[in-house]
Amino acid sequence: MSLLLELRALFAELRREKRASFRRHVSTGDLLVERSEIAREWGFGQGTTCYDNVLILGDVHVGKHCWIGPNVILDGSGGLIIGDHVDISAGVQIYSHDTILRAVSGGVAPVERAPTRIGSRVHIGPQTVILKGVTVGDGVIIGALSFVNRDIPTGARAWGIPARVQS
């Protein structure tokens, strides 16, 4: 029981330090591991940070100076490439596979995979979902709560369900 009390005291101190330094509360994993360490362990580019609670699957390549927020899913099972200077907001889900045909075929059809690409200098708003096979060009802004099921061209501003390029 004393180990549990010691751990609780340690976590309380780490939470106080995080609050004093950054005025934030984070999950336990983020108290123990620096976000840059996680990115470095995955081979992401220099200056990239990644919260501890990010789900990373498969073949994911991330460029330099990216910020990957909390509760993000990066599905690289079909290949995922993310450029430099990309901000991926909280709760974003980026997929490179789906199981739609497998499910409706009763398991006869295989899982479908297609590479997904995010260009450089891109901002992806909170709670956005990007489907497999989509390419997002350079310099794109995708608004919060968007459903991206088609390519977004370079320099575009897009949002909505489904996401549409705004003029």
Q: Which residues, in sequence order, are bridge partners of residue 94?
A: 74, 130
Token pair, residue 10, equals 């340690």
Residue type, 2: S
**DSSP state at residue 44:** P
- The per-residue pLDDT for range 85-115, each reduced to its tens digit, is 999 999 999 999 999 999 999 999 999 999 9
Tell me, yes or no, if 97 is annotated catalytic.
yes
Q: How far apart are CA 59 and CA 56, in angstroms?
A: 9
Among 146, 119, 110, which residue's Cα sits nearest to residue 63?
119
What's the pTM? 0.91
Token pair, residue 5, equals 């009390």
Q: How far apart are CA 68 and CA 27, in angstroms?
A: 15
Among 77, 80, 35, 40, which residue's Cα sits nearest to residue 54?
35
**Residue of 25, 65, 97, 123 marked catalytic:** 97
pLDDT(34) > 90: no
- The per-residue pLDDT for range 113-167, each reduced to its tens digit, is 999 999 999 999 999 999 999 999 999 999 999 999 999 999 999 999 999 999 8
